[in-house]
Structure 1
């Protein structure tokens, strides 16, 4: 049945969606717009009442309707009041549904009802003479701490709703496209974050700003000594005051615990948040031990298709992927190749993404060698190994290979990791129970001043001298970028190479870098991509 031939409820028939880095919803009939976070997806291709039934199931729709009618029995909410439903792709897994009762007065004040047994929050609000209901439901039972997170999520969504005179039919520019264009010709990271500043005025609602900060944090994370990155993180993370860190294992003990869990495993999966270089550095710290346990495959989600030459070339380039432009990701890849890992690309965008990701990994590893040992590096919720309404890559790979993976989750602890103080790593004692979504959850608090190109290798503190020209250019532009490259890579690739270190210079203090023995090319660039100085460094 085509989308045009199925029944559409009156108000739901006016739904329009613009899908980019954020998901923008518009209803011209109701004069309502809503900016959902990029982690949401609208359910069903047609997003109408029948397709909603087919993709979610009638039971879910009836539960939504029944909950509203339980608390507001006189309204008799039905299918004609349904507007749309959307779900998140990463945990916590939310289902968000909207209903409208036109020309109906219920109350002058907004109200929030929390139904804990149903794991659902109902937000009622009156606008322009009509009653609206937003239902936000958790996919499965969570601990009590998620009640506060549920309330915060509802507030974020409410902040992104615009009615009547505030209704807008335009969306802000795509920041990924703007940043990519800024870096395309010269690999100039400073141009990208300068472009980030320039487009800030085009993001108005809270959800638009959240998207702006998320993408901005991704690119700013590629540069150390960057106050803008720290500021963006402080606005992205809103840690609950009631959640405390539960751990008895810190630092070396925590690292040894991870190694003990890895020992004897055939399939290990570690996730990352795409704007957290410290996640990649932890992977770098574990690489050598994992290799000693017989692992020879490293499957990386972030690598774009058609990069087979990577295993021959032995180093990353700017064309390898987006997140691999991060020097910490580049160093992870270099060190893996140096040790002898074969790197597998497995990303598959579009429908059935997680299933096809798993199939790509399986076909390139276990299908060819049932005794293979595989380390998978994935984004956020893809390593969730639990069966669910929308199973993730880890679940599918577990089913295909018949191998129970060790899943190490390090993203959910990010809002709270700074509470570790001087500790750089901790194990979440509450989530080391096997059989759930993940086997081990950790708190990663590794500071960037501890990052090394090769972990556990002696380094020499190297001071980069500042000439009068460099000082004058810092005064002129406000900041310059110091990019340190492997000398051989830079000679071969120039700015198509991925730096070993990016360091933001915003004052006249000479940067002190920790470098292992080797030959390096250091480039100091302006925001306009001009090369201010080029230095050759030899560390013995």
Structure 2
């Protein structure tokens, strides 16, 4: 399962691509406050505080704090522009900078669309749009050398004419569009705040979509109370629906105890298999922890490829060469336990392959064909496939899934283990059940070989040697001004951070409600980068920490 924008958006003349909003650390407080209310629905820019809206072209990317510095020609002689900036971006073809400023002044009486400047020598254009008491200015300046100002004039004219004052487009703004606009922000607390504050009528919010978006974001910190409440509500409903059948099955197998445990069982049944498929919910880090535990035993059985749906296909060769995951590796792989899973696979010598295809008309078949290509290229390949939710169903009465196509096209019968379908309250972290026990249940799709009940509670002790994980505590005076506010605390491996900077994946995230200046986290021994950001995307602190037991 992948969260995507609506296909119809691609047909529009104006649209945003990978848009992020720009916010600067200096300037007047009013413009800073205005920028907090900027939104995009994938097509239209909208500020719900100022009630203004406008359209841009798809090759204009807008930036947040720290991503780009403003080196625009306009600021060299006119620093007053900076205090009124509400948007700053750069177009790719042709290359130019875009600035939107906003100001209010009672002296502004006329409603106008005006070209204020066409400076060919310095390759700059300025447009103004005004109404009573309000004014927007659009500044466009060339990056590099242009043959003429013609394109900038044409683009600027369309952009400024699209802007509207006293605009209300709240009904057009959808939660999924806001998510897709900000999803690649390094600060997921900022994304969370954007969704919380989105100008969307509560009645318009789809509960199932809400659940998926919020749990996916909050899964970056499974200790978060909000995440736990959402998961508990979801799990309790599913647990109750399956209670009778799961209790009956668990009672049946209790009469035939298998003392070997889950991992030895899987090692045994996978020994002569060429392909093992395991699935996950994209908001469940405990599924990644179990996948992590499978890596060594499958390696012992000769498995040498790890095919991950969530890894971007254009990033897998880079990932294997670099030897460490990065945020550019994929969206879901940015979550700390997913990053740890990938690091372990690379350390064990797995070759990682991205195999998803969300462009094809038949995604399931395309995924299967991409997996078969691995075997065609390397007949000795043994593949551990890590997929999303239903893709591993060998049989599905409604729609043929990836595993079904793979089995049909390759002639290879994969070992399929589903850890998504069965939710139950058990004392054991994991229980492996043959799917035959659930064949008669209408509530369960038993088109796999095994079901795994996974009740693992995410904790770094599950993926690191337990005796190496202990409490890190630090007093940070910079938190003094954030009392009673939420901040995001992230911990990165220092070696990775020095190499990848903002592209690195943390091993720990925590949304901290600041009570005092103290930070307490359980971490493995090592050298790390501690980074703290606020809900407005400002970096509060970034420093190296050495976490070792005192001798």
TM-score (norm 2): 0.61
Whether the 8 Å CA contact 1:283–1:332 is kept in 2: the answer is: yes
2:195 is aligned with 1:196: yes
Find 2:432's aligned residue among 420, 427, 430. Answer: 427
Q: What's the counterpart of residue 346 of structure 2?
A: 337
1:216-251 per-residue CA deviation (whole Å, 9 max, x = no partner) reads: 111111123211212222444422635323334799
Q: Which residue of 1 aligns with 2:498?
A: 491
Change (3 A) 1:22 1:193: farther
2:228 corresponds to 1:220:
no
The match for 2:238 is: 239
Kindly provide the CA deviation profile for residues 423-451 of structure 1, in whole angstroms up to 9, marking residues without a partner as x.
Answer: 32122356468995111101111112355
Gaps of 5+ in 1: 1-18, 24-168
The counterpart of 1:269, out of the listed 262, 269, 277, is 277
Query: C-alpha distance in 2, partners of 1:171/1:302?
Result: 32
Counterpart of 2:298? 290
C-alpha RMSD of matched pairs (Å): 3.0
CA shift in 2, pair 1:538/1:467, >3 Å: closer
Aligned to 2:151: none
Change (3 A) 1:492 1:520: same
Asked if structure 2 preserves the Cα contact closer than 8 Å seen for 1:366 and 1:401, the reply is no
- Helix, strand or coil: the match of 2:261? helix
Q: Which residue of 2 aligns with 1:179?
A: 179
Whole-angstrom distance in 2 between the partners of 1:22 and 1:514? 43
The answer to whether the Cα contact below 8 Å between 2:434 and 2:449 also exists between their aligned partners in 1 is no
Q: Give aligned pairs, total.
A: 367
* Cα distance in structure 2, aligned partners of 1:309 and 1:280: 22
CA shift for structure 1 position 175 = 3.2
Q: Deviations over 1:498-521 (max 9, x none)?
A: 111111211448554443343211
Distance 2:303 2:241 in 1: 40
**Residue pair 1:311, 1:337 contacting (<8 A) in 2 also:** yes
Residues 122-172 of structure 1: per-residue CA shift (max 9 Å, x gap): xxxxxxxxxxxxxxxxxxxxxxxxxxxxxxxxxxxxxxxxxxxxxxx9966
Q: Aligned equivalents of 1:366 and 1:292: distance in 2?
A: 19
**Aligned with residue 286 of structure 2, among 278, 282, 299:** 278
Spell out the pairing of 1:341-352 with structure 2 (5 A cutoff).
341-349=350-358, 350-352=360-362
- Judging changes above 3 Å, is the alpha-carbon distance between structure 1 residues 209 and 243 closer, same or farther for their aligned structure 2 residues? closer
Query: What is aligned with 1:502?
Result: 509
User: Partners in 1 of 2:342 and 2:491 — Cα distance?
Assistant: 17
Mapped to 2, the partners of 1:211 and 1:366 lie a distance apart of 37
- Paired with 2:273 and 2:482, the residues of 1 have a C-alpha distance of 53
> In structure 1, the residue corresponding to 2:459 is in which secondary structure?
helix
| Contact preservation (8 Å) 2:489, 2:511 | yes
Output one character per residue of 1:166-205: Cα deviation in whole Å (capped at 9) or x when no partner.
xxx9966443442343354x51111111122123853426
TM-score under structure 1 length normalisation: 0.62
- Deviation, 1:394, is 0.8
Q: 1:439 aligns with which of 437, 449, 457?
A: 449
Given that 1:431 and 1:441 are in contact with CA atoms closer than 8 Å, whether structure 2 keeps it comes out as no
Distance between the aligned counterparts of 1:532 and 1:333, measured in 2?
29
- 1:13-24 counterparts in 2 under 5 A? none
| Deviation, structure 1 residue 388 | 4.4
In structure 2, runs of 5+ residues without a counterpart are: 9-168, 440-444
Comparing 230-239 with 245-254, which one deviates more in the overlay? 245-254
Alpha-carbon contact 1:464-1:511 (below 8 Å) kept = yes
Q: Distance in 1 between matches of 2:241 and 2:306?
A: 38
Give yes or no for the alignment of 1:521 onto 2:513. no
Counterpart position of 1:65 = none
Q: Answer whether contact 1:304 1:345 (CA < 8 A) is retained.
A: yes
Measure, in 2, the Cα distance between the counterparts of 1:354 and 1:242.
29
Within the candidate set 448, 455, 458, 2:458 is matched to 448
Kept after mapping to 1: 8 A contact 2:222/2:228: no
2:544 to 530, 536, 539: 536
